[in-house]
Structures are given as C-alpha cells and as structure tokens.
Amino acid sequence: MPGWLFGSLTAEHCGSCSSAAMAWLVVRLAISVSLLYTASAVFEDQVGKFDWRQQFIGKVRFALFDTQSQASKKLLVATDKNVFASLNSRTGDLFWRHVDKTGPEGHIDTLLMYGQDAVVVVGNGRLLRSWETTVGGLKWETVLDTGSFQAAALVGVQDHVKYVAVLKKSSISLHDLSSGSQIWVENLPDSDTVQYQTIYSGGNGLVFVLGVVPNSHIVIVEYKIEDGEIMNKKSVEAAWMSSLETSCTIISSGILLCADQITQSLYTLPLQSAEQTEMRQIHLQTLDLEVASGFQPVLTSTQPNPAQPPLSEFFLQLSPDHHILLQLKDNLIAPLRDFNPSYLAAFATSGERTVAAVMSPKNDTACSINLFSADTGRRHLDTTIIYHMDPNGGKPNRLYVHAFLKKDDSVGYRVMVQTEDLTLTFLQQPGRVVWMREEALADVVTMEMVDLPFTGTQAELEGEFGKKADGLLPMVLKRLSSQFILLQAWLAHLWKLFYDARKPRSSVKNEITIDTLSRDEFNLQKMMVMVTASGKLFGIDSKSGTILWKQYLENIQPNSVFKLIVQRTTAHFPHPPQCTLLIKDKDTGLGSLYVFNPIFGKKSQIGVPALPRPILQTLLLPVIDQDYAKVLLLIDDQYKVTAFPSTKNVLQQLQDTASSIFFYLVDSSQGKLSGFRLRKDLSTELIWEVVIPAEVQKIVAVKGKRANEHVHSQGRVMGDRSVLYKYLNPNLLAVITESTDTHQERSFVGIFLIDGVTGRIVHEAVQRKARGPVHFVHSENWVVYVYWNSKFRRNEFSVLELFEGAELYNSTVFSSLDRPHPPQVLQQSYIFPAPISTLEATLTEKGITSRHLLVGLPSGNILSLPKMFLDPRRPEVVSEQSREENLIPYAPEMPIREEWFINYNQTVSRVRGIYTAPSGLESTCLVVAYGLDIYQTRVFPSKQFDVLKDDYDYVLISSVLFGLFFATMISKRLAEVKLLNRAWR
Amino acid sequence: MAMIRVLSLILSVLSTVTLLWTQSGECNNGRRSGDAVDTDFSGFSVPLEHSFEVDDVPRFRLRGALQFRGGRENGVYLSQNQLSEKDRNTLKDVAAVDGLYRIRVPRVSLQMDRQTERQSEGYLTTFVRACSLVESHLSDVITLHTDVSGYVIGVSIVTIPGSCRGIEVEDEVDLEVFNTTVSVVSPVTAPPPETAPYIERMEQEMEKKGKNPQEQKSFFAKYWYLILGGAVFLMATSSAQTPPGGAREQS
C-alpha cells in the first residue's frame, strides 16, 4: 500500500540523518518525498492512451459559409454559448474556436462576413471585432458607445464593401471595415419615442435607418455615407405594425415589404420615393393565400452582395409547414412556386446565381431537400438530398445552405441542418451524411457511469449462481457445461489473438458498437450516461468517447432540473440495468419519470407512477425489490411518499423498515431544514426542525456523502501508535450558508454539519470575512470547502475533519440515534493561489487508495491535489511524532504544480462539473470533466500499485527465468554424471 | 388556579437540574426549582416542552423552563419538574413500542438587546428514542445551538448511554427526576490561513541559520584546503606525466 511505502521512505531517510537534523531540512525532505509519491503527470507516450477530449460549440445562432473560393472548407459559426468558431465543412472538426465570457457580456449579437473578414458585435453592442477567418486571429477591436444593440449591416459603395454600420437604440455609427476606426456617429432623431430596429444600405451612397412607433407609424431616416448627414426623414402611417424586425424585410431596389397576420395583407413601400406617403396594401386573398391562424408570417429575402440591392424574390412562410416563393415585379407580387408542405427554406448564392433550398417532408422518417432557382422557381434537376430524421431525435429547425458552382456550371450544394435537439448534420448529395455534431453535449447537466454488461460467457457463469438450486446432479452438469463454454470462449479468444497478430496492426481496429460492448477485465470501460439541458440523453463509451446511443426527450421545459438515478446496476443478470431520470419543472415543481436501460438507451416498459403534485425530495433506498431494483421514494409537497417500483413486495419491505427510514427537506427561502420519518402507511411525520434565520444567512448548498463511497480504515495511526478513530457518520449533511450582509468586513460563510436523522447540529462554524461562491466536497470524515476571502481578496481552502477520539463508541455499527458524544473537530485553512470552477474528490473501489481532490480551474486545467495537503493535523512545528505520521508541516499556501494537471494541455473550457467513478482496479479512478468540452481520463492517486507498468520488461524477466531453469537442469544433470563417475571410481 | 399551581410546584420534590456553563461545565445538582418557571433574574426564560404519546401524535406539555442569564457568557439553567406517575407509565409504554420522545423550544434570540424581537413564531423540535431515555434513567444532554447573531437555530437531545438494549427499568424512582445537562453552543470561528506564525517561524529559522557561523561560510571558505590540496595534487601528477606524452606527440 502506498501509504506504507511513504512511511518507510521517510523513516529510512531520517534514520540516516542525525537526530539534531534541522527542521527546515525535514520540511523540504517531507515535501520532496511527498512529491515523489504523488507525482501524477502523464508521460508523453501516454497521451491519448486512456484519455480523450471532445470540444463543442453550443447551439448555432449564426452560420456562414465561406463562398469566396470554391475550395474553401470554412464554416463560421456563432453560438448561444458565446462561442465564435470556424468548422471544417468537410469533417466537422474545429479549425479554431474563441470562447468569450459567459452571460450577456460575451453574447454575440450578430455575425457578418465579407471576404476574409468576419465582423462580430459582442455584448449587446459593447464591442465591434473583426476576425481573420483563416487562422482566427483578431484583426481589430473597437469599443462602441453605450446603448443597446439593434442591428448591424455591411455598407458598400460602388460595388465595394468598405464600412460596417451599427445601429443602437439612440445612435448610428459607421466604421471602416479594414481598420475599425469610426467614420462618424450620429444621434437618431426622436429616439425616445421611435424604436429604431433595422438598417439597410443598397450600395447607392445612402444608409437607411428604419424605426417604428408601435401601432402608429414607421420612421425612415436617410444618412449620407460620407459624413453622416441626414438627407431625408419621413414617417409613414402603419397603425397595424408592432415590430419591424419580425414582420418586415427589404427586397428589390430598396422596397420595404411587410406582412401582417390580422389584416391578411402584404404592404410595400419604396424607401426612397418622396411622393408615396402611404404603404401599399396587397391582400393575400388576391394571391389566393392565407396565413394560418395564430401564426406570425415570416418574410425571408436575400442580399447576396451588401454593395448591391437585394433580390426581388422572397419567401413568405404562411404556417409552420408552408412556404411560398414570391416575386415583386413592376410593383406586382406574383407567386413563383408554392411549397406545401415544407419545413424550412433558405437562399444561397454562388457567384452570380442565387438558389433556394427547400426542405419538404418525404415520409415519416425522411425529408427531401431540393434546389430551386430563385429567379424562376424552377427546380434544378438531380439536386435532391434525402435527410433521414433520427427517430430518437428532434425535428429540424434550421437550414444552412452552401451553394457552389460545379465544373459544368451547374449549381451544386451542401446543407447543414440543425435540429431541436441541437444536432448539426452536414449532408451532401444524394443524402450522404458528411459529418454530425451533437452540440447538446456542450451543456451537460448531470451524468452517471454504469458498468458494462458481461459477455455471454461471463453472464452464463454468473447466471448459474442466480438460479434456484434443483438437485445435486443437475447443478454439477450445469457447472461442467458452463466451464466447457468458458473453455471454448478462451480457445476462440486465443485463436483470434493469433489471427490478429498476423495482420498488419493498422487493420486491426476494434470498432465499438452497441453489440460488442462488454465489460473489460478491470472494469475500466464504462457507459457514460449524460443528461443535457436540452433534454437529450447520451450513452457514451468511456474508453473512446463514441456516442453509442442518444435519445431526445421532447417537451422538456428549458429550465428543468434533472436528477439521474441508477436503480439497478448491471450486476443482476438477467435483469437489465435500469436508470431513472427525474425531470422537474423549476417553476411548478411538477416532475415526471423517464425510465430507461442505460446500456442501450431504450425506454423501459415499466409503468411509472403519476406524479400529480410537485416533488420536493427523492430518496434512493438500499431496499431492493424482487427484481433487484433499488426503491426510489419521491416525496411531494404534502409530504406524501410515492414508491417506485411499488410492487407488493416493496410495500411490504417498506412497512417493515418504515421506522428506520428518515429523510430531510431543505427550504432555503426560509432557512428551514426539517427531518421526517416514514410511517407504515407511507405517510410521514415531522421529527425535527432546524431553522437558520434567512435574514442573517441563506442556505446555498446541502450535501450528504456519496452512497457508493467506501472507507477502508476506521482510524488513523498516530505517531505514538495509538489510533485516532474517524467519525464516519453516513447520515451527516454539510450545510453551507452565506451571509446576507455582503460588506467585506461583516460577510461570512457558515458551515453546519447536521445529522440527517436526528437533526442534531454536530458542528457549527463561521468563516469570517468570507464570501461565496463556495465549492465543497463532503466525504469520509472530512469536508473541504473553498471560499473567497473578501478581506485579502483571495481564494482559500478550508478542511474540517471529524474524529471520534481514541476509542470508538460502538465499533460494529453506526447509528445516528446512538452516538451521544459529539466528535472532535479539527480545522485548518490554506491559501489557494487560483480561482476555482468546481471541486470533486477521487473515488476508488475499496477506498484504500489515498484520496485526491480534483479542482477544475477556470483556465480549463484540472488539478489533482493530494488530500494529504489538506489535513488539519499538519503541524506548525515538526516533531518526532508528526514525522512518524508523515504529516507535512503546515504551510499557509497551497502549492500548484504543473505536473498535477491531469489534462496537460487538453483544457476543458468552462468546466462546470467533474464526475468520478471507481473502476475495477483499486488504484484507478475514472474522471469525467464536463463543461463546454468533455474530457475523460483515469487518475491513479497512489500510482498504479496494482498494475505492471507499460514498459515492464517481460523479455528480461522471462529470459532470466528460463535461463535459471535451464541452468538448474544442466547443473542437475552434471551433478548426476559426477556422482555416477565418483561411484564407479 | 395560580394557588393550586404553586402548591403543586411546592409539593414537587427536588428536581434535578444541572447547570452548565459552556466554558467551565460546572454542575449544580439537586437544586430546588419550585417556582422557577416565570421568575426572571436579569435574564429571561423560555419554556421547554416535551411530548411522548403511544399513538405518536405529538402533544407538547411543559417540561421545564430554560433560563438564560444576562451578561457575556451564555449561561443557561434548566428548571424542571419531575415526572408524574402517569407520565412515567406513559413513557414506559412509549418505550415499549419504540416510540419517540420529542422536545421543542420556541425560536428565540438569546441576545439581551434583542429582547423585543426575540420571540418569533415557530418552534425547533428534536427527538430521542423513548427507550433510550428510559434505559438511561432520564439522563439526557440538551444542547441549544445559536447562530452568529444569537438566534437559537436548533436543539438537540441525546441520552447517555444512548443505546436501547431492552433492559427493564424496575425502579420507579429512576424515572422520576431528569438528570439533565444543558448547554448553549454558538458557532466557532473557523481558522483563517495562519500566515503570521508561519512567517515568524521562517524568520526564526533564518536567524538560527545566521547565528551558526559554520553555516554562513561559503563553499570555498569551508573547503579551501581540500580544493587547494586537490589542485596541487593534480598539477603535480600532470606535470610529471606531460613530458613523456608531449615528447611522444611531438616526435
């Protein structure tokens, strides 16, 4: 065991040095020895061997294809996660990615592209940036005047795009496209009453700004590009209009076109004409069209070149699945082609030719996308792309088209389809999926790791034990047959090894599919079940990162809370493993259950209880039903308990054990923690109450211990060979509060350790001059929390350890009801020289391996910090006994070493959570860090003490062995000959 | 009514009350608690109620009064009545069915200057198994927890010993008087990183180093004779060997 190793090392070393050894030397020695033992960096040749990273971008809001050159593979995207990136349109990989600040500060308002430049407005009109699109370098950045962003447009003069105009709530500014310098800025007239929303330039030296006074009139202001002079200003009656942005567009040579649902009409108005002071109304009836009731008609036009006016063709969407291509010609609107039904429509331009792609339903599972020429509405031949909809996915909701000219001058195209479940699919003719990205994974909410099932043979052997005994002879036969099957499987395995060894290495590729999934020798490969905020579930192979199954749950409210529970693991063959997802609406609290098989992702046929009332708490009991599923208790707002599964067997068991089932509820708005006990009739009774006044401090987090955690040693051996027993209360809750007073001198963070059964406050401490956000880990007999020291303006770690003392009150079993003596609490704090995003502790099978803390840093690194550094028993002054115990002398600052970064240069952007799971090897803990990216690796907190190293010299050891063997044989023979000779003499 | 109550209180024999200072843990057993309930000596008192019912539906009755003394130290003192025979029997019955013995205190502030707002609605409740209370012969420890501003946020009760072994308590006298230890616990201040002592220690070590003249000497100052000797030796050996080598090379 590594702990002993460390001990022997120190002892040995100190034996050699004189008894008067200086403390400083010991300090350094201890630190260096501890480093020797905790160094956990990977070697260069280990990179990518057992770890992988996947990078995501989020939900695409803007996507632009580089149409400058035919060979360009660039696809620029800006997403709701404030990510601006360039994708390789051939493979879907990232060329480069810029992750901006989270929240409104980094929000990407718009994305414009011209040539090699991409212009981005960030943070509600705070910054204007221009990026070089090939390498993703920043060309220039300008800070814009204050004011909320409305619109931006590229402005061209004489067929050349030179400027970018930005419209704010009360001003308009023009910037040079090559340098970003501001040409002019003008205040908008009457900006307190008029809502300016749209900007338009047709390349004729003028910029039009369009505003609306809702349900009254439209205001059109003309600016001269050179100096920003107002050339003209007029207002036009439009009593029916509430918003320009949603109902209007500009087509042809500067004609404003609007659609209104109530009057069932289209309206046109030439922007520049002086005589027309009223919008011309065109009833849709005259075109034989009708807008679906309750649907806001959508107009889509296209302006292929910002220096030229838009085309006179446009799409009108009349209902969610009805588009029509119309044309404005000689002041008349004429339909070119009616697309009914059609889901999505989009324009694309290549060179001089503009085409329209329309997605129409083909059958239940597929859609067809066709290309039409924009000016005539005629269908291009042989341009159909069949898009197969994923039966477990969502509906397509965005279509991005990349058109290009083929060698024979016909138009070819590729499309990118984004669906409701945030899947990006890139297709080319005739329907080949070029690549796919699952952007829902950019927002993982919660996850679990599930063991993979046994192979057929393993299961066969396992199944033998599960069955009822039916006589001696059948059992023996059964055993023999299963042993025979095992032998057969082993031989087949050997044969496969032999066969594969003859093939070149590259062709032996183990393709992982859902059918070949099976548990490996050390249970290192598991199924990662990930729940994303969009309501899509994923099953990912932890070894390779391959998505093995996905399931989109429809009708999930965007602010839902998810809780994933593993009710039955893979251990109960032939019963399939079972996971339950509790989806709770944050506003109403109403919940629903989704039960599925975590290995195959299939929805389970088990009937789930209806949950008519809001759910307050869930509780997974160790009680199992006859099918080995753990019982889940759901407590509603009337403190009634629903059991799932609720078979007779379960109810009987619950009745028997009801008096020992306790649960707690937290009401953070009132600061109330209350404990309940289950009654036999599945009602509950209140048994304790703790109220932390919400006026002074509010509860920010409550955490118990992880149920699958094992603690190997009951106590710690002290320097004098006595044992300090740990206070291992499985029912202990760590409650963290933050003061309502945020003044830096008076703010504090409160830590309460409360027994969840009796409500007894085991320990209560306040960290003065501290502020959140607090991250904490509660495990074994310790709590580690991180807070912000508002006085010294730094992050600090604090560790609390609980001990029962030199003797155990009851060494056989822990009962919260019978543990009268309060534990001894030790605490120490340290300075941590970096901000922190998240915190988690490693977890191993039996808890023998020493623990490490995994600290997610905002820089994207994950630090593996030995728990040894967070030990409240670290002495101020080194003594013989503390040396014996291997305690590192106290130092107020926590070190950060680069080699402790478990993800070397594979940073995880915006890391939000770290999940740890034990593997079959005691030394190894599986780690998944998720945020914008997902990173999976293994850590070995005490090194790989139970595995031979990768570079273990098998040849040497076997040659020595064989050498010795033959040497003995030969010498034996020689000795025999010698003996014989002597006897003859 | 008042007369009867006073009489009954006087009639009640010595009830055991333990007075515990949080600091010293000083005990004062066997103190008379006659008319303690409503007295107020520079502090104030709050009622402590308990409930033990065979049907497990809480019906709280007065058990005693917690008296808080003014001043700096959170002195608390519990005066309580002994259990009546009916109560004793009920308690034994509750213990037999493994029922709960619950106590509750109102939510109050223990700060003297907040007397006016100290009474807020609601109670803080907790429980202990009735059997363990019986088996421990009514020896319990009640702890009141306060927050930083002196509000009582939680109460806990444990019995010593806390186990339920099913021992029959024969003697009625054992169940008459509570042997209670009561204390108030306010939150401890968590230690901040201790930079000052660490720096001090480092400085001391530096000083110690400085005092030791052997340490101060540089490498050359310490071993100059060895280096010199080595150099001389090297020179001597090289000068002895060069001529033949050099001669050979030249030839």
For residue range A220-279, list pLDDT tens digits in order: 888 988 888 888 888 888 888 888 888 888 888 888 888 888 888 888 888 887 677 788
Which of B154, B189, B197 is opposite residue A768, by nearest beta carbon?
B189
Question: pLDDT of A377-429, one tens digit each?
Answer: 888 888 888 998 888 888 898 999 988 888 888 888 889 999 999 999 999 88
> Are the C-beta atoms of residues A751 and A734 closer than 8 Å to each other?
yes
Contact at CB, A817 and B125, closer than 8 angstroms: no
Q: State the pLDDT at residue A333.
A: 86
Output phi, psi for A500, to 5 deg. -65, -35
Q: What angle do CA A559, A561, A566 make, to 5 degrees?
A: 150
Residues pairing with A446 in the sheet: A531
Q: Which residue of A has its CA nearest to B107?
A: A691
> Cα–Cα distances in Å, from A129 out to A98, A177, A619?
12, 10, 51
Which of B124, B160, B190 is opposite residue A690, by nearest beta carbon?
B124
Percent of chain A with pLDDT over 90: 35
Contact at CB, B127 and A687, closer than 8 angstroms: yes
Q: Does A765 touch chain B (CB under 8 A)?
A: yes
Output phi, psi for A885, to 5 deg. -85, -5
Q: State the pLDDT at residue B248.
A: 43
Q: State the pLDDT at residue A591.
A: 87
Q: Distance (Å, rounded) from C-alpha A52 to C-alpha A904?
A: 12
Contact at CB, A892 and B198, closer than 8 angstroms: yes
The closest alpha carbon to A557, from A536, A585, A532, belongs to A585
Q: Does A771 touch chain B (CB under 8 A)?
A: no
Question: pLDDT of A291-300, one tens digit each?
Answer: 888 888 888 9
**Chain A residues within 8 A of B205 when measuring between CB atoms:** 22-24
Q: Per-residue pLDDT for A953 more than 70? A: yes
* Model ipTM value: 0.77
3-class secondary structure per residue, B109-174 = ECCHHHHHHCCCCCEEEEEEEHHHHHHCCCEEEEEEEECCCCEEEEEEEEECCCCCCCCCCCCHHH
Q: Distance (Å, rounded) from C-alpha B102 to C-alpha A689?
A: 11
Positions in chain B short of pLDDT 50: 1-41, 243-251
Calculate how close chain A gets to B238, using CA atoms only, in Å. Answer: 38
Q: State the pLDDT at residue A573.
A: 73
Summarize the confidence of residues A82-93 as an average pLDDT.
92
Q: Which residue of A has its CA nearest to B161?
A: A820
Q: Distance (Å, rounded) from C-alpha A516 to C-alpha A838?
A: 35
Q: How confident is the model at residue A607 (pLDDT cuts 50, 70, 90)?
A: confident
Summarize the confidence of residues A919-927 as an average pLDDT.
92
**Chain B residues within 8 A of A764 when measuring between CB atoms:** 145, 147, 185-188
* Residue pairs between chains A and B whose CB atoms are closer than 8 Å: 137
pTM for the model: 0.84
Contact at CB, B148 and A754, closer than 8 angstroms: no
Q: State the pLDDT at residue A456.
A: 63
Residues pairing with A827 in the sheet: A800
> Are the C-beta atoms of residues A83 and A100 closer than 8 Å to each other?
yes
Q: Does A343 touch chain B (CB under 8 A)?
A: no
Contact at CB, B98 and A659, closer than 8 angstroms: yes
Contact at CB, B126 and A758, closer than 8 angstroms: yes
Q: Does A795 touch chain B (CB under 8 A)?
A: no
Contact at CB, A820 and B156, closer than 8 angstroms: no
Contact at CB, B193 and A827, closer than 8 angstroms: no
The closest alpha carbon to B130, from B103, B106, B170, belongs to B103
Q: Per-residue pLDDT for A34 more than 70? A: no
Q: Residue A771: what residue type?
A: R
The separation between CA A343 and the C-alpha centre of its own chain, rounded to angstroms, equals: 30
Question: What DSSP letter does each residue of A719-743 carry, written as one string?
Answer: TTS-EEEE---TTEEEEEEEES---
**Chain B residues within 8 A of A893 when measuring between CB atoms:** 193
Q: State the pLDDT at residue A785.
A: 95
Question: pLDDT of A884-905, one tens digit each?
Answer: 888 999 999 998 998 899 988 8
> Are the C-beta atoms of residues A208 and A214 closer than 8 Å to each other?
no
Contact at CB, B124 and A768, closer than 8 angstroms: no
Q: How confident is the model at residue A467 (pLDDT cuts 50, 70, 90)?
A: low
Q: Which residue of A has its CA nearest to B56?
A: A685
Q: What is the mean pLDDT of chain A?
A: 86
Q: State the pLDDT at residue B219.
A: 77
Which of B145, B193, B197 is opposite residue A831, by nearest beta carbon?
B193
Which of A692, A760, A816 should be substituted to probe chain B, the one whose Cβ sees the most B Cβ atoms within 10 Å? A760
Contact at CB, A877 and B107, closer than 8 angstroms: no
**Residue A439 has what DSSP assignment?**
G
Summarize the confidence of residues A316-338 as an average pLDDT.
87
Q: Per-residue pLDDT for A86 more than 90? A: yes
Helices (H), A241-288: 244-247
Q: State the pLDDT at residue A293.
A: 82
The tokens for B133 are 């209370």
The tokens for A72 are 């360009």
Summarize the confidence of residues A524-545 as an average pLDDT.
91
The separation between CA A907 and the C-alpha centre of its own chain, rounded to angstroms, equals: 14
Summarize the confidence of residues A509-533 as an average pLDDT.
80
Q: State the pLDDT at residue A853.
A: 94
Q: Does A881 touch chain B (CB under 8 A)?
A: no
Q: How confident is the model at residue A660 (pLDDT cuts 50, 70, 90)?
A: confident
Calculate how close chain B gets to A793, using CA atoms only, in Å. Answer: 13
Contact at CB, A690 and B153, closer than 8 angstroms: yes
**Chain B residues within 8 A of A23 when measuring between CB atoms:** 205
User: How does strand A344-350 pair with strand A149-157?
Assistant: unpaired
Contact at CB, A692 and B129, closer than 8 angstroms: no
Which of A759, A877, A892 is opposite residue B156, by nearest beta carbon?
A759
Highest mean pLDDT among A167-171, A912-916, A952-956: A912-916
Contact at CB, B156 and A893, closer than 8 angstroms: no
Q: How confident is the model at residue A858 (pLDDT cuts 50, 70, 90)?
A: very high
